Amino acid sequence: MTEKYIIKQLSIFSENKAGKLAAIAKIFLDTGVSIQAFNIAEANNFGVVRAIVDKPEIAFNEFAKQNYALQYTDVLAIKMKDVPGGLYEVANLLGGLGINIEYAYAFRTGAYGALIVKVTNPRAAAQKIIDAGLELLPAKDYNF
Amino acid sequence: MPYYNEKIETMPKPELVKLQYQELKKLVTRLYGTSAFYHKKMDETGVKPADIASISDITKLPFMKKTDLRDNYPDGLVCVPHEDLVRYHVSSGTTGKPTVVAYTKNDIELWSECVARSLTSCGIGRKDVLQVCYGYGLFTGGLGLHYGGEKVGATVIPASTGNSERQIELIQDLKTTCIACTPSYFIHLIDVAKKMNIDFKKDTLLRTAVLGAEPWTDAMRQYIYEQSGVVAHNIFGTSEISGPMFTDCSELNGMHICGDIAFTEIIDQNTGESLPPGEKGELTITVLKKEAIPMIRYRIGDITSILEGDCPCGRTSPRIDRLQGRVDDMLIIRGINVFPSAIEHALLKNSYLTSHFMIEVFRTGPLDDLLVKVELKPDAMTDSINGLMEMQMHTERVLRDALNVSVKIELCPPNSLPRFEGKAKRVIDHRVI
């Protein structure tokens, strides 16, 4: 029953070079896929572009067709109050539940913010988070 | 002491030729009787030991190549009982399997004597302190210079490679007078010493360097002398013939290939024909007295020529010019021989990579950097930066272990590296030497 909260993030391998992000963004443009949240993690000479989009399958197929190395990664989006202490409330609660955040990034829309988190076991974590009284944003709001 | 073994080193040429013939005859007869490999090779060529009636008959004998060592890995070419072996050295081969060289006690003795003669010809002797900054271990550089240095009675410091500031401290504190390393590493040491406010000319007793294992030039020799007051000698050798063996003498005019130990030929790399002195071709050496793995007409792959005329030093053995390139695509990285085919083979072991790669060699400072660009397989993608970094580091370890030299890996997206139709050009060498 936590399945609806599992968000399929795209993780795309990219060289750390000028123009590479534009090439990736162009594929989203050409496929008419809208980006909801976005982040780049970089290591020495490469990076991983992480994106949550409205039509992940369409984007995934086009990237694969163009020989990109990419995969889906299951992440959760935790609703945060858009007030001072909003992040503290979420982070403190996850800490208390013993849920380790591998990485996270945030976005804000209208009245509230959301923290995208990558955790080791997202389904079990989703249940714990809901049980503890926080709100998860369902995947359909982001992916479709 | 100008000579280590005066009688042999200054032997009149006709006598030397006679001695070379006698040694070759003994060697061929022994090999025909004890080496299945060479027996077969001679039969295929249609030559018998009886056909060797003078040293010039050596051209009747078949060549040996590095691939012979690979194809007979690890010990198919050893033609003495195993209990007679006292050492192995190992270098990376052309494809996957390394090249193994074995030595008997006499082989080590012969090699050491050869290095001792060479060091003596560079003016190195009992009063000297020799710092050996070649790698010790499987590579022949360290132990080769070490044994030769001890043989001439020098005080040897087995410093091995790396830790440049420490090397300079040792040069100062232990009053090092001679150093053995690669030319690029010595130039690096000059730079490091400058940063430490140490002037080799004023602050150390260092006066002689024995440099080799990679190509260098007379301009570098001049630069080294101007910057450090050190006279740099060139040393040549390769593990298949034992290791580093031959240097130029105090005349600094070509490396003497001790005639009683090795017979030198320069051949046309395409036809195999012997070329006369003065003409450039592929260096081919027969080690006349090696026991464990004798090498007959071994095609080393380096391009050089035999220098004409007698050397004023009085040594009668032939001299070869500086090495002027390779007949194959072998790279020399910080003194270590690296074949692109060995890189390709080592990369095959990594299931997360495609089979495409590119090799780039730089010399940004004085030292070489080897960069290998590899492609991630699409299905090996992971969202974890740590996972990707681990793939990169694992590939670096695999290559370092296979090649004995450190490699920087750049992980590239699938299909991003060049594809070749026909002969692949995977190496871009940016070095200017």
CATH 3.40.50.20 fits A3-73, yes or no: no
The distance of A68 to chain B (nearest Cα, Å) reads 6
User: Are B317 and B363 in a shared domain?
Assistant: no
- CA atoms within a 13 Å half-sphere pointing along the CA-CB vector of B393: 8
Number of other CB atoms surrounding residue A91 within 10 Å: 16
Mean pLDDT to the nearest integer, A124-139: 94
Q: Does B388 touch chain A (CB under 8 A)?
A: yes
| Side-chain-facing half-sphere of B110: CA atoms under 13 Å | 20
> Is there a single domain that holds both residue B111 and residue B211?
yes
ipTM value, please give it: 0.89
- The answer for residues whose C-beta is within 8 angstroms of residue B73's C-beta and 6 or more apart is B93, B97, B98, B99, B100
pLDDT of residue A142: 62
Nearest chain B Cα distance for residue A11, angstroms: 6
DSSP B294: -
Residue ranges of chain B with pLDDT lower than 50?
A: none
Does the pLDDT at position A144 exceed 70? Answer: no
Between residues 29 and 68 of chain A, which touch chain B (CB distance below 8 Å)? 41-46, 48, 50, 64, 67-68
B44 and B189 part of one domain: yes
Last residue of a domain, one of B305, B327, B349: B327
Examine the domain organization and report whether B24 and B163 are in the same domain: yes
As a whole number of Å, the CA-based R_g of chain B is 23
Question: What CATH number has the domain bearing residue B348?
Answer: 3.30.300.30
CA atoms within 13 A on the CB side of B401: 12
**Rounded to two decimals, what is the model's pTM?**
0.81
Residue B390, chain A, CB below 8 Å: the answer is no
The two three-digit tokens of residue B29, written as one number: 């007869």
B308 and B351 belong to one structural domain: no
**Beta strand pairing call for B129-132 and B298-304:** unpaired
DSSP strand pairing (B231-238 vs B243-247): antiparallel
Which residue among B298, B327, B356 closes a domain?
A: B327
Could you tell me if B385 and B421 are in contact, meaning their C-beta atoms sit under 8 angstroms apart?
no
Q: Give yes or no: residues B27 and B99 share one domain.
A: yes
At B57, phi and psi to the nearest 5? Answer: -70, -5
Q: What is the DSSP string of B364-417?
A: SSSS-EEEEEEEE-GGG--S-HHHHHHHHHHHHHHHHHHHSS--EEEEE-TT-S
- Closest chain A residue to the Cα of B373, Cα to Cα: A45
Distances (CA, A) of B210 to B98, B120, B173, B330, B336: 27, 11, 20, 23, 16
For residue B2, what is the domain's CATH number?
3.40.50.12780
Give the pLDDT confidence score for residue A143 in this predicted structure.
53
The answer on B365 and B248 residing in a single domain is no
CB contacts of A73 in chain B (<8 Å) are: 383
Write out the H or E segment, with its range, that includes residue B235: strand B231-238
Q: Is B381 on the interface with A (CB under 8 A)?
A: yes
| Domain-terminating residue out of B327, B351, B378 | B327
Tell me the residues of chain A between 91 and 110 that have a Cβ less than 8 Å away from chain B. 102
Same domain, B67 and B128: yes
Q: How many residues does chain A have?
A: 144
Side-chain-side CA neighbours of B307 within 13 Å: the count stands at 18
Do residues B109 and B19 share a domain? yes
What is the domain range of residue B379?
A: 336-429
Mind telling me how many Å the CA of A73 is from chain B's nearest CA? 7
Query: Phi and psi (nearest 5°) for B264?
Result: -105, 135
Architecture of domain A75-143: 2-Layer Sandwich (3.30)
Average pLDDT, chain A: 92
Q: Check whether residue B2 and residue B19 sit in a common domain.
A: yes
Interface test with B, best of A9, A39, A46, A101 (most B CBs within 10 A): A46
**Interchain contact A126–B (C-beta under 8 A):** no
Overall domain count for chain B: 2
Q: Please list the residues that pair with A42 across neighbouring strands.
A: A47
Q: Report yes or no: A132 and A97 within 8 Å, Cβ to Cβ.
A: yes
What ranges do the domains of chain A cover? 3-73, 75-143
- Domain shared by B119 and B164, yes or no: yes
